[in-house]
Amino acid sequence: MSDKVIHATDADFDAAVLQSSEPVLVDFWAPWCGPCKMIAPALDELAAAYAGKAKIVKVDVDQNQATAIKYHVRSIPMLLVFKDGQVHGTQIGAVGKAQLGQMIEKALDQKDALTGLSR
C-alpha cells in the first residue's frame, strides 16, 4: 500500500478533502469488497504519480457511515473527484487505472483553465 494514499474518517474528511487546494479522488470502499481490492493497486500508483498535484483519499464506508451517507454511497467502490470542495466527477464500480487517471486529469485541466496556468 502506498504511503501517499490518505485514509480519511468522518472526523477529518472535511480537512483532507473539502479544504484541499488540490483535486482529490476519493475512493469509498470496504475491506470485504472484492472490486475495491482490485482497484487498490491502481490507486496506489496514481497517488505516487500525482503526488503534489492531486490527492488520493480512501474512506472505509463501514467505519465512516456519516460521510458515506452524506455522499449517497449505495454501492462500492464509488469514486468521487472533488475540486474546491465540490464533487466534479463520479464513478461507480471498479475501473482501470487509465480511467481513474482521466478523472484526475479532467479536474486538473479544469483547475488550469480557471487559473490560466499550464502544467
* Helix 34-49, helix 97-115: angle, nearest 10: 40
- 115 φ/ψ angles, rounded to the nearest 5 degrees: -95, -15
Q: Which amino acid is at 11?
A: A
Tell me how far apart the alpha carbons of residues 108 and 65 are, in angstroms, rounded to a whole number.
29
Catalytic residue among 6, 17, 33, 59: 33
Are 35 and 93 a contacting pair, CB within 8 Å? yes
Are 46 and 25 a contacting pair, CB within 8 Å? yes
Catalytic residue among 36, 42, 54, 76: 36
117 is catalytic: no
36 is catalytic: yes
Q: Which three cell numbers mark 2?
A: 502506498
Q: Which residues are catalytic?
A: 33, 36
